[in-house]
Amino acid sequence: MLGLYIHVPFCSAICNYCNFNRGLFDVDLKTRYVDALITEIANQAVRPPSIGNKSAISNQQSAIVGNDGRAAADTIYFGGGTPSLLEPEEIARIIAACEEAFEVAADHEITMEANPETVTEARLAAYRAAGVNRLSFGVQSFRDEELRRLSRLHNADRARVAVGEARAAGFDNVSVDLMMWLPQQSISEWLESVDAAIALRPEHL
């Protein structure tokens, strides 16, 4: 099955190590981007040749096609950038567009990357209600000195709180991202972050 990747190229600040397609958050641009993204998703729908685009079928022959001719997908992944800067209702609109354009499996996994400083328990509960069932927290380090060197906006305590808020909001599938071999980082400092992450008992690290 297909895995659908949705890129959200907005950030509250630009981390000094990042080479991904991203820019500073702008509300008006974000609104236009979401509308354009939904249009683009609709344009990617694969239909049977009799009712749709024959070239789209030939270009995606490796995709499993469901009963109604739509390409089947079992995962939707919101990456970035910082997807958690989108409003929950915007995430819900994008998910709905994916479900319209593709035959999304009933047991689908919908992941959203999130930065610890951008969420609250209420906001996370709204994302959960919108359809997100897996969170990937960009923690990167549990050492405040390293986080400052990376230009991250959160600190280690805020990362721990964010994971707790996710649990309280109903998420039972949480991933934590760490960066290793940072400049000036010793092995013992790296293991300090690993141990801190393990203590939070994420489903994926």
Residue 77: beta bridge partners? 5, 111
**Using omega within 30 degrees of 0 as the cis cutoff, is the peptide bond preceding 80 cis?**
no
| Averaged pLDDT, 67-91 | 93
Q: What is the mean pLDDT of the chain?
A: 90
List pLDDT tens digits, range 33-63.
999 999 999 998 865 444 445 444 444 556 7
Cα–Cα dist 114/78, whole Å: 9
Of 97, 154, 165, whose CA–CA distance to 131 is shortest? Answer: 97
Q: Which residue has the higher pLDDT, 166 or 69?
A: 166
Q: Which residue has the higher pLDDT, 59 or 172?
A: 172
